[in-house]
Amino acid sequence: MAALVVFELYDMGKLLFRLLLIPFLFLSLYSCTFGPQPDKIIRATVEFDEDLKFGNIEVVEIFKKRIGKISNNFKVEKIANRNQIMIEFATHYDSDRAKKLLITQGDLNFYEAYKVDEITPFFEGINDFFNTTKDQNISPIFDITSNKGRKGGAVLLTALEKDTLLINEYLSLEELGKKLPTERRFVKFVWGRKEKYTNSFSLYALKLSEQLKPAIRGGVIEQARQEFNQMSDPTITFKMNEEGSKQWEDLTGKAFKNHFQIAIVVDNEVYSAPSVATGSIKGGMSEINGGFTLEEAQDLANILNSGSIPKVNIVSFNVEKLK
């Protein structure tokens, strides 16, 4: 009997010890901060173009959302009587990454992309123009391109960065624009992101509405998340609101029927141009595959969730190392 009492007291003691231990475990977990710890304080001032008149409460709130995703210790304030915002935050981000987070507009749009076959006659017209005016057999665009696009695809050509400015100059000539067929006058030529292994850029021709607008504006994005695709590459998935879901269903259905690609464009740069293989996409869900690093995908998802801002310039940027 005495032995039984001893064992019961021993078991009760173990149970009491475990019950007392639980609050301490929760307290320890609560006080722990996971992930990289801040090693610096960044203080920056950004300025908006005067004619935009946009540097107000709305943009302050967008910056608070962006910075709040990466720092628990931050301050964002509009500077009185100036078109400027002061931003201060503790972070582990390096300077370049932090600057990009501050100046990226996050202007997301979706366009119908012309096929290379539809635009090639225009490029041939450019060649004819230069050969007529300069009386020599030259191909001003194709002579400096790395590769021509594949038939039926959205990539018109690829070029090295040093050649993109000259190609842009050719494409902006007013007399050459008249060589586009009337039904294709509403076009916008946009470069894609730099290719990781070739350091080249792909050129796309994007279709504009008669109001010079994209097919879908990015304001319909309800949520964006950084995820991984089947190849374990970082991607961004997004979900649209009800209005955007209907527009996306219509656009993807049209793309499937007419066999064109949809260009996903952020800040006037084509991130990807997927084709639609299985008909219209319902539910407003899709994915951006842009050859991202993990950091790039995380930051762009943050920016898309926070909302877009007008163009800003960094007036001052200072870094204080934490001890």
Q: What is the CATH number of the domain that holds 297?
A: 3.30.1360.200
How many domains does the chain contain in total?
Answer: 2
Q: Let me know whether 287 and 313 are in one domain.
A: no
**Averaged over 185-199, what is the pLDDT?**
89
Which one-letter DSSP state was computed for residue 192?
B
- Kindly tell me if the per-residue pLDDT of 69 is higher than 80: yes
Q: Let me know whether 81 and 144 are in one domain.
A: no
Q: Let me know whether 94 and 113 are in one domain.
A: no
Burial readout 114-125 (b: 16 or more C-beta within 10 A, e: otherwise): bbbebbbebbee
Q: What confidence tier does 34 reach under pLDDT thresholds 50, 70, 90?
A: low
Strands 200-207 and 157-160: antiparallel
Kindly state whether residue 83 falls inside one of the protein's structural domains.
yes
Q: Let me know whether 271 and 145 are in one domain.
A: yes
Burial readout 229-241 (b: 16 or more C-beta within 10 A, e: otherwise): eeeeebbbbbbbe
Comparing 89-98, 116-125, 219-228, which segment has the lowest mean pLDDT? Answer: 116-125
DSSP bridge pairs for 159: 201
Helix %, strand %, coil % for the chain, to 5? 40, 30, 35
- Kindly tell me if the per-residue pLDDT of 17 is higher than 90: no
Tokens of 84: 């400027």
Q: Model confidence over 159-170: pLDDT tens digits? A: 999 999 989 988
Kindly state whether residue 314 falls inside one of the protein's structural domains.
yes
Contact 204, 156 (CB under 8 A): yes
Q: Let me know whether 223 and 317 are in one domain.
A: no
For residue 100, the enclosing domain spans: 40-105+309-321
Contacts of 173 (CB under 8 A, 6+ apart): none
φ/ψ region of 164 (left if φ > 0, alpha if ψ in -120 to 50, else beta) reads alpha
pLDDT for the residue 71: 94
